[in-house]
A = this chain, B = another copy of it.
Amino acid sequence: MTSAEGSFVVFTPSGKRGRFHEDSSLLDAARSLGVDLDSVCGGRGICGRCQVVVAEGEFAKHGITSRADHLTPLSEPEARYRERSGLAPDRRLGCHARVTGDLVIDVPPESQLHRQVVRKEADAHPIDVDPVLRLRYVEVREPELADATGDLQRLIEALDRDWKLTGLSADPHVLASLQQTLRSGGWTATVAVHDDSTIVAVWPGFHDVALGVALDVGSTTVAGHLCDLHTGEVIASAGAMNPQIRFGEDLMSRVSYVMMHPGAETELTSAVRGCVDGLLAELCEGAGVDPTDVLELTLVGNPIMHHLFLGLDPTELGGAPFALATDEAVHRTARELGLTAPNAGARVYVLPCIAGHVGADTAGVILSEAPHDQRSVNLIVDVGTNAEIVLGNRDRLLAASSPTGPAFEGAQISCGQRAAPGAIERVRIDRDTLEPRFRVIGDERWSDEPGFDATGVTGVAGSGIIEAIAELFLAGAIASDGVIDGSLAARTHRIEADGRTFSYVLHDVRGAPRLVISQNDVRQIQLAKGALYAGCRLLMDALGVDTVDRIRLAGAFGAHIDPLYALALGLVPDCDVDGVTSAGNAAGTGARIALLNRGARDEIEGVVRRVEKLETAVEPRFQEHFVGAMGLPHATDPFPRLRAAIDLPAPREAAAGDRPRRRRRRVDEPERSSS
């Protein structure tokens, strides 16, 4: 009951509490206590963001009885909102329900301004939704003959009065449409305010949709994730081929193209910007949303894609000292970057590059994986044409890029192809007969299951090549020095002579390409995995550790490969098998975090400055490690943790019968992961 000091109100789940007099709205009460209760319309009963529920009953802990009728009866604006937008019977609008007695008020998650959005990846902490862009509803003073204050200044005055936003400025395009907007909204408007400092868009009346897109601009594909900036949810994701491919498959051939055709960087820039612009339009069309509601974009990419997207000549990144044009985060408007699909006031935040070889994509990986927050030592590898490697924890963080080449992506492999439907992604080889079975992207069946279409197989993806070579190694058909054992040709047609070396026939049916793992294919993988391993060891030497606690495999390659095979082939240093996991599309997730949480931008900018950069090209120990890592890990190699999980073959040329004696752990059928 109301006491002389007012009624007692407790908010859950925060537990914040206080006494309030009769004229207090629940929104006012929440704000005065610092309870996280949302509002876009500023308490005018329009936005419905401040919905709360009265928890009815006796609350002995607080010594009160909470009842629904301890609030003023349903107000006119609440009734209107219920009519227009729907309002559950037990819900009230915090801005119009006033306290008349003791209450326990529950603030549901969707009414919290600072909500969290759960990530798909296992053991990833949720993202706190606190975007740099906010919508603010205001009522603007009408112009008067006696007062020459401009429309813009009266808008800014209203934002100061109602939202305590001071020193605001406005994007030029806002000024151009402001007069019309304010008048058509009857002097009410919703304003998109960027970073509490710039008005980037204005709508007449009330508007409650603000969208953002996190972009991951890769050499091969460009991916975009359309997000609701209020809920933090991903509304739609889409990808497109990077049209720069016509200037060169890999990054270095694109840089060469620019070097040989001065000024061509503008062509490459137009190509990738056009691709992103189209992707933005497609994302919005597919999701049925208005592209002018897209107000915020974040972008990650490797240094060369970063430079080309920003219109910077990447030539300097093609050779030592690999100088970046800028190593800080870049802020642009979408229009400055030639993006026409989003709102004319949309802002683009490009995460910082770490070094000439370690880009904003790696900054995204760090933001997503947050090794700098952890006590345990994390090794994160993002394998593409180069492998970016990050090692460390809260005390120190090191990064390097290792020149693995494109073998892990299926390039320079005779039967290789990009990960796409029809590509073999999983391989199992019988230890005795050397007969394979496999699975292709786009089909959940194994090749020995009924209904599998053997003629639909088009090639072998990077993960399939890794698995095939690892399986052949574990079956003894490939020795620890990488040589395919030709003597087995006598026993099975799967091994066949190929000039002076031997090959393994993985797939050979009429109507489909003949897929063969050649000796050269094995060599390419050995070179790539040697480079990756050497890069990891170089960072471990620099950090002064012999083992790591956790290995995270980022990117598409990391998502497709079975961690056990990565270990078995010696791609990464020895680790508990359970400690090696996929980080998913960590770079893209990092872009999404920077999109949804403004603090994450300061965070990654600070971390990037602290990262110690190693340049593999000039570290003598890299060469040493590289040479030492060319062979496949065998039973006497220092891989105690791997050996705890799996029997490794003996060193040197394995004869046909040199199969592992006993498998301590079966290589389980991996969970199918979507391509």
Contacts and interface: CB of A to CB of B under 8 A. Distances in A.
Interface of A: 143-146, 148-153, 172, 175-176, 178-180, 310-313, 315-316, 320-328, 330, 332, 336, 353-356, 358, 613, 615, 617-618
A149 B327 contact: yes
A148 B313 CA distance: 17
Given A172-B336, A325-B178, A320 B148 contact: no
B356 A148 contact: yes
Contacts of A354: 148
Nearest to A615: B145
A145 B323 CA distance: 8
B152 A321 contact: no
A312 B355 contact: no
A631 to B, nearest CB: 30
Contact of A151 (B145, B178, B325): B325
Given A148-B356, A148-B613, A323 B179 contact: yes
5 contacts: A143-B322, A150-B325, A153-B326, A179-B312, A180-B313
B310 A175 contact: yes
Nearest to A352: B150
A151 B148 CA distance: 46
Contact of A328 (B150, B325, B336, B358): B150
Contacts of A617: 145
B152 A328 contact: yes
A312 B153 contact: no
Given A145-B615, A172-B332, A615-B145, A150 B323 contact: yes
A316 B183 CA distance: 10
Contacts of A143: 316, 321-323
Contacts of A321: 143-145
Given A179-B316, A336-B172, A326 B150 contact: yes
Contacts of A615: 145-146
A124 B151 CA distance: 36
Please indicate which of the listed interface residues A324, A353, A618 has the most CB atoms of chain B within 10 Å of its own CB: A324
A145 B180 contact: no
A152 B358 CA distance: 18
Contact of A322 (B145, B153, B613): B145
A179 B322 CA distance: 12
Contacts of A322: 143, 145
Contacts of A326: 150-153, 175
A325 B175 contact: yes
A211 to B, nearest CB: 24
Contacts of A153: 326-328
A175 B309 CA distance: 13
Q: Which of A313, A323, A330 has the most CB of B within 10 A?
A: A323
A4 to B, nearest CB: 48
A313 to B, nearest CB: 6
Closest 10 CB pairs of A and B: A143-B323, A148-B355, A150-B327, A150-B326, A150-B324, A145-B321, A152-B326, A143-B321, A148-B613, A176-B311
Given A143-B321, A148-B356, A615-B145, A179 B327 contact: no
B148 A327 contact: yes
A509 to B, nearest CB: 50
Given A151-B325, A153-B328, 15 more contacts: A144-B321, A145-B615, A148-B327, A148-B355, A148-B356, A149-B327, A151-B316, A152-B328, A172-B332, A172-B336, A175-B312, A178-B325, A179-B323, A179-B325, A180-B313
A154 to B, nearest CB: 9
Nearest to A354: B148
Nearest to A618: B145
B323 A151 contact: yes
Nearest to A330: B175
A33 B141 CA distance: 52
The residue in A178, A313, A327 that gathers the most chain B C-beta atoms within 10 A of its C-beta is A327
Nearest to A172: B336
Nearest to A316: B179
A332 B171 CA distance: 10
A235 to B, nearest CB: 30
Contacts of A330: 175
A62 to B, nearest CB: 50
Contacts of A325: 150-152, 175, 178-179
Nearest to A333: B172
Contact of A320 (B145, B175, B176, B358): B145
A323 B141 CA distance: 12
Contacts of A618: 145
A313 B179 contact: yes
B148 A324 contact: yes
Contacts of A315: 179
A172 B332 CA distance: 8
A359 to B, nearest CB: 11
Nearest to A322: B145
- Chain B CB count within 10 A is highest, among A152, A330, A353, A354, for A152
A149 B611 CA distance: 12
Contacts of A145: 320-322, 615, 617-618
Nearest to A182: B323
A356 B149 CA distance: 9
Contacts of A151: 316, 323-326
Contacts of A175: 310, 312, 325-326, 330
Nearest to A324: B150
A413 to B, nearest CB: 31
A152 B151 CA distance: 38
